[in-house]
Copies of this chain bind each other. A is one copy, B any other.
Amino acid sequence: MANGHLQEAVSTLKNTKVRMTPQRHAILEYLYETMNHPTADDIYKALESKFPNMSVATVYNNLRVFKNVGIVKELTYGDSSSRFDCVTTEHYHIICSDCGKIVDFHYPGLDEVETLAEQVTGFQVHDHRMEIYGTCQDCKMVSH
C-alpha cells in the first residue's frame, strides 16, 4: 500500500522533465516507507550506508524538486529544521511538545473554514494547515 503510493509518485515524476535517479528513488522510498516526517538530515543519515558519497545538497535539492511537483510537503515547526512528509491522504499532525513525536491524525478536513475565509477576506484560498500540540502518553507517564 505504501508501495502503491510510491509507484504513483514515481509515475508522477515520469510525466515531468524530472529524471529518476537512484538517489531520488531512495529518498522517496524512505519517505513513503517510514512515514516518519523526517528532516533533510534524517534522510541524509538514513541513506548514508546505501549512498556513501551522496551530498546533503542532493537531499535538499531533491526534496525541493518533489515539493514543486507536489508529491512531498514541507512542514515548518518551531524547531529550526523543516520536516518532510509524503502527500497521501488528507490528515493533520499532533505533535508532542516534550519529545517532538509527530502522530498522524485523521480529520474530515476544514473546507468550511477555507470557504468562510474566502468570503471574509477576499483571498482566493488554495490551502490550509493545522497542527495540534500536546503531551503524548509516554511523556505524560514520565512526568508522574
Contact = CB atoms under 8 A, between A and B. Distances in A.
**Which range holds the interface residue count of chain A?**
35 or more
State the number of copies, please.
Answer: 2
B129 A124 contact: no
A116 interface: yes
B130 A105 contact: no
Interface stretch (A6-14, A23-31, A132-140): A132-140
B117 A94 contact: yes
Q: Which 10 A-B pairs have the closest CB atoms?
A: A123-B134, A125-B134, A130-B130, A127-B133, A128-B132, A124-B135, A122-B137, A76-B76, A117-B132, A129-B131
Interface of A: 74, 76-78, 82, 94, 96-97, 103, 105, 107, 110, 113-114, 116-118, 120-137, 140
